[in-house]
Amino acid sequence: MKRKRKEAGGGVIEEGEIVWQTPLNPPERQDYIFHQGRRYVTPYHFEFISHAKSRWAGKTIVDLFAHEFKGRPYEYYVGAVECGRIQVEGRVVPVSYIVKPSEKISHFVHRHEPPVMSHGVSILQMEPDVVTVCKPASIPVHPCGQYRKNTVVSILQAEHGLAPLFPVHRLDRLVSGLLIFARNALKADLFRQQIEGGLVQKQYIAKVVGEFPENELEVNVNINYNAREGRSTAEEVSICSKPCDTALLKGKAACTKFTRISTNGTHSIVLCEPVTGRTHQIRVHLQFSGHPIANDMLYLSEQRTNRSAEGMVADKAVCLSPESSVSDTWQNKKGDEPCVEFSTDPMCTNCPNLAPKGCDGNEEALWLHCIRYSGPGWIYECPYPDWASLS
């Protein structure tokens, strides 16, 4: 397969007309497009690299992709293997190839990232070994799934030259507020030890439904996270006469303390102090208390969204044509995306759109915001968001 690869140092090895990026290529300021309150990323050709997991071994290369990445039809993977856009150990293989453990698998795709809210990532405090920022909602902390350049880590590198950065903690994509980054591995390990030792206190604020109780409320309810659905559920521990009864519980122990800050009867602003750190812990515990976050559609409704069925990891499962890319200027007829010139691929299922299919980018900030982290001899804080006032 003829191509040219853009190396991390900026050089280009001539192999054809397509420039392939890898995870080593740093994001650049010119990669971003701002339009009507959203931050877009210009689509780019990218090489996904993974190593065969034990459960993949013994499957054909096509069956592996069809089973693991359900966002695209089986025929796409057949074409991707046949045209060399899916390779094993740098070699073109037949569709009947049987995958072996730990083999390097490359998938060459035309990558379209979902847009995020265009709010900047503001730096709160800069120290020799620590950087704190205020994370906007809708932006993931680090590269994952469909996001690589539209992440806090990548934006800080592209716009402020901050790299490497080591996230001390994580905020869900729709959550805003304080993020702490260590600037070296030694400092990151020190933070990790303090967190694992229970020496770090975390505070968030949330805007919830109804009049929250005046007295402090402590919720001790197990959290059971379903990765395929992207949703957690509360699993209350009852008092059992037999110790073995608790073995049937799937969730992990979780505890959160809540204190009402203010209320107007319709909504309340609540201080949330998670003692443990489970996925969606605050959101689920507030739902369990009867006062879910007021704009949290995932936990306000009993309807569950099965993200795996909707192809939320479709960027890892795009079949591309062996033909060279062509330059195209895309104009959205509705006028809600910018008119941008970028390289398109004839068989890319997202082209000529700028954003990936099924992504409208019209998300609002979840009313959950990290305001404070503190530990032995240190405190980092973030300003309150506008929605925290009920007046």
Distance between CA atoms of residues 101 and 252, nearest Å: 31
pTM score, whole prediction: 0.82
Q: Where are the domains of the chain?
A: 4-113+309-344
Residue pair 33/338 in contact (Cβ under 8 Å)? The answer is: yes
- Among 228, 229, 274, 230, CA closest to 253: 274
10-residue stretch averages of pLDDT, the chain, 391 residues long = 48 58 92 93 92 94 92 88 94 96 94 93 97 97 92 97 96 96 97 96 97 96 90 72 53 95 97 95 96 94 41 30 33 58 79 84 86 98 94 74
Strand partners, 176: 369
C-alpha distances in Å from residue 48, one per residue of 31, 45, 88:
19, 10, 12
- Active-site residue identified among 31, 63, 129, 172: 172
The per-residue pLDDT for 251 is 87
CB-neighbour burial class of residue 26 (10 A; exposed 0-12, middle 13-18, buried 19+): middle
Is position 360 annotated as part of the catalytic site?
Answer: no
The per-residue pLDDT for 63 is 96
The pair of three-digit structure tokens given for residue 31, joined into one six-digit string: 């990669």
Distance between CA atoms of residues 103 and 84, nearest Å: 16
Handedness of CA 43, 44, 45, 48 (dihedral sign): negative
Q: How far apart are the first and last CA of the chain?
A: 62
Is CATH 3.30.479.30 what the domain over 4-113+309-344 is classified as, yes or no?
no
